[in-house]
Structure 1
Amino acid sequence: MKINKKYRGKIMTLIIDPQTGGIAGNMIIGALVDLGANPKELKEIMESVTSQFGKVKVSFNKVNKCGIDSTYCNVELLSENKHIHYKDLISKIDNLELDEKVKETSKNIFKRIAIAESKVHGESLDEIHFHEVGSSDAVADVIGSVYGFYSLNLDKEEVIGLPVALGGGRIKTTHGILPVPAPAVLEILKDINCIGGPVESELATPTGCAIYAELCSEFKKFIPQCKTSKIAYGAGKKDFDFPNVLRIIKTKEITESDRIDVIETNIDHLTGEEIGYLFDKLLDEGASDVSVTPIIMKKNRQGSLLKVIANRSKRNHLIDVMFKEIGTLGIRISPNLHRGIAKREFIKKSVEINGNIFDVTFKVAYVNGEIISGRPEYEDLLKIANKTDIPLIEVKKIVGNYDD
């Protein structure tokens, strides 16, 4: 049997890096084009979908920003900027002839902006009307960014956002002179790492920040351990003594990572049979792993430490199961822990023993594309041992590992 040593299913990661040059809608589009999105297709989409908002002209060209070769997306407004209510803007997006996921993501982005504006101005969503972010060039930025993102199938990847450079100083808006970062930017970037400066100028726009917040699945302070596959740069329109560019890094992770929660509680009132039932119950209810460790509790009582590993989506349900089944008074949670896991798949292989052919399932694990283990499943070995009357330990030797 020929063994494929390389595994093609490794997780891909996209890193959006606005920590030097900030972020704006056209910078995102420029970086996506630099990454491989079709500029002619984007130009056509952006100019056509904005027709009911106002005319724009879109062009792409290569520029050099402080030694960094990057792609600049120029969105020129050809008609008067008109104010529009949030609900009217959403209605117009619903009527666009675009893929539903592009429209839904675009609406989510404008909702982020609307929520931020409503908090800043003390208005409801129905009352909010957009000024700068409701104009046709802003609509082109949002839909162009989302369309380019999906055209590259980047929604299939984990998207990590690095800290956002905000700039500083003051900026003139329709609401008057405001400090940088603008209040809406701060609302959009709540709980996201930001960096002040490094210049007295606006570096992060509300539109760019809302797109960034919607597309990213996780936010980190630093680039995680990875192998770089491709680096793209989207240029801003300003010139400083540092590159006014947005960097997007496409990577291939060395190992698959998994974010988990660890749920623990001490128990001293259950029998061995009841603990066994609970063990199986938690696995059936979605726990990734369950372990029970003997411990000595206060007053020298013998007890057990029940530890459950769970994906975040299953955490609350498993906690409810534990309260119901155990009657415990307290449960400890260690959230958002990271574990390195090898990519695993189950592969069947035919094995001949004493003239009989048996199908054996192997659990094959990969790290960085290489097979690190390929052990046969116990249940299949047990079936062979019972049928052939060969000791289990001998069956295991005969079957061997997947790559033997």
Structure 2
Amino acid sequence: MRVLFFDPLHGAAGDMVTGALLDCGADQALVMQAMRSVVGEPTISIVDRAGIRAVHVVTHAGPAPRTLGEVLAIVRTADAPDEAIRMAEGVYHRIHAAESEIHGDHAHFHEVGADDAIADVIGACTALHSLNPDGVVVLPVLLGTGTVEGAHGRYPLPAPATLALIREGGLLARFSGEEGETCTPTGAALLAAFQTISRQQVPSFRVERIGYGAGTRNPKETPNVLRAMLVETEEAAPGDTVDLLETNVDDVTGEVLAQTLQNLIGAGARDASAAPLLMKKGRAGYLVRVVCSPDKSSALARLLAEELGTLGVRCSPLVHRFVAERTIEPISTWIHGEERAIDVKVGRIAGKVYSVKAEFDQVAAWADHLGVPVRIVARQVEEEAWRAVRRSDDGV
């Protein structure tokens, strides 16, 4: 499994994310094409940051306050892959939620809605798409102190929007002790959107590529860079460990939820379910839970986000589970003078059968053909399965 690590050695901003991904092997021509379609020709250069060679991306664009709709309209015109555009839309929905929490429902984007920020988001999403990792890990984000001047006035650092994005994205953070803004809202939104798995899910790996994205400032004592590492993990050992994905939703219909569960199973989930939930402010919602193998957690977390519009998916990695010995055995049964073989799932512990369950779809189809209630057909098939098990145990 190929996993991408983001390691904010000093900070995180949109241009730093794009630069790190380019240095890690992302398709530069594709990224330049996407960014160029939003603003003028960006400049990509190699710079030195406290002795570290890094890629610096400059968009040459100015400020422009915009609404979410105006920003999304620009994003959708970008000459970029469809998946990259969807990722960029998700990034801006995250930023809008954070800005609305702080400034109210009619918040405008200022710094993050400027042409350069939009180009950085499109560039970073296109770069990630071109690398196509199986999972993304974000190591703790470093936060600076002091104040920053914004469109709404002077704010303490970390900026309120940055903190809200870090919280909602489940990112780990720590203070760097440095004066100044080390993590911008755009950088926080990108890392939160890209993160799909936790560091605990990748206990060991081989490093394939390393990239450094440079920030604009160049302090002498600290390398102002974001590091990206593309690694190859060891193959997940088969057995009794799974990942557990969870998210809370309160704005989807039952039909959408049911289709999403079906899509998750079709995409390789071991199990997918939804339970009613009472959420904050008394809103009714659902807890959606997915059980999957570790190698599928990244893709299924992304599917959850795309289908349900959720901004965060919790992942509990490497959960131990009891796994019984299971076989599928065809069981021949006579009902109303007709014989049919129905697949039955047989569960064993230490070789002893403790559970039999007929495959529902086959049972339902036969019941419909016979004009008999499904429960009657299922019961007779499972009774015959138990008789077959006993004959096998007795050596008959």
Instruction: Give the corresponding residue for 2:263.
Output: none
Q: Superposition RMSD on alpha carbons, in Å?
A: 2.7
The question of 1:91 aligning with 2:73 is answered yes
Call closer, same or farther: CA 1:314–1:45 in 2, change over 3 Å.
Answer: closer
* Conserved? CA contact 1:162–1:221, under 8 Å: no
Structure 2 residue corresponding to 1:142, chosen from 121, 127, 144? 121
The question of 1:225 aligning with 2:204 is answered yes
Query: What amino acid maps onto 2:93 in structure 1?
Result: K
* Conserved? CA contact 2:144–2:157, under 8 Å: yes
Q: Secondary structure at the match of 1:129?
A: coil
The question of 1:178 aligning with 2:155 is answered yes
Instruction: Give the corresponding residue for 2:312.
Output: none
* Conserved? CA contact 1:117–1:128, under 8 Å: yes
Q: Secondary structure at the match of 1:61?
A: strand
Deviations along 1:278-312, one digit per CA (max 9) or x if unpaired, are xxxxxxxx868xxxxxxxxxxxxxxxxxxxxxx95
Query: What amino acid maps onto 1:313 in structure 2?
Result: V
Q: How far did 1:45 drift?
A: 2.3
Structure 2 residue corresponding to 1:113, chosen from 89, 95, 107? 95
Structure 2 residue corresponding to 1:46, chosen from 16, 35, 48? 35
Structure 2 residue corresponding to 1:260, chosen from 237, 243, 252? 243
* Conserved? CA contact 2:25–2:209, under 8 Å: no
Mapping 1:243-282, distance limit 5 Å: 243-256=223-236, 259-260=242-243
Which aligned runs of 4 or more in structure 1 are off by greater than 6 angstroms?
none
Q: Secondary structure at the match of 1:192?
A: coil
Structure 1 residue corresponding to 2:166, chosen from 189, 192, 198? 189
Q: Distance in 1 between matches of 2:28 and 2:199?
A: 30
Instruction: Give the corresponding residue for 1:209.
Output: 188
Instruction: Give the corresponding residue for 1:12.
Output: 2
Query: What amino acid maps onto 1:204 in structure 2?
Result: C
Q: Secondary structure at the match of 2:89?
A: helix
Instruction: Give the corresponding residue for 1:161.
Output: 138
Structure 2 residue corresponding to 1:65, chosen from 40, 43, 49? 49
Instruction: Give the corresponding residue for 2:363.
Output: none
- In the superposition, the TM-score normalised over structure 2's length comes to 0.59
The question of 1:26 aligning with 2:6 is answered no
Instruction: Give the corresponding residue for 1:332.
Output: none
Identity %: 30
Query: What amino acid maps onto 1:140 in structure 2?
Result: A
Q: How far did 1:28 drift?
A: 0.9
- Which protein has the bigger helix share? 2
Deviations along 1:196-250, one digit per CA (max 9) or x if unpaired, are 1231010101011101111110244897322211211111111221111101111
Q: Secondary structure at the match of 1:207?
A: helix
Instruction: Give the corresponding residue for 2:386.
Output: none
Q: How far did 1:314 drift?
A: 4.3
Call closer, same or farther: CA 1:128–1:249 in 2, change over 3 Å.
Answer: same
* Conserved? CA contact 1:15–1:250, under 8 Å: yes
Call closer, same or farther: CA 1:89–1:222 in 2, change over 3 Å.
Answer: same
Instruction: Give the corresponding residue for 1:303.
Output: none
Q: Distance in 2 between matches of 1:216 and 1:116?
A: 17
* Conserved? CA contact 2:11–2:142, under 8 Å: yes
* Conserved? CA contact 1:193–1:219, under 8 Å: no
Q: Distance in 1 between matches of 2:76 and 2:211?
A: 31
Q: Secondary structure at the match of 2:11?
A: coil
* Conserved? CA contact 2:143–2:181, under 8 Å: yes
The question of 1:131 aligning with 2:113 is answered no
Unmatched 5+ residue regions in structure 1? 1-10, 51-55, 263-285, 289-310, 316-334, 342-404
Q: How far did 1:72 drift?
A: 1.0
Deviations along 1:186-205, one digit per CA (max 9) or x if unpaired, are 00000321011231010101
Instruction: Give the corresponding residue for 1:75.
Output: 59
* Conserved? CA contact 2:37–2:79, under 8 Å: no
Q: Secondary structure at the match of 1:84?
A: coil
Q: Distance in 1 between matches of 2:176 and 2:201?
A: 18
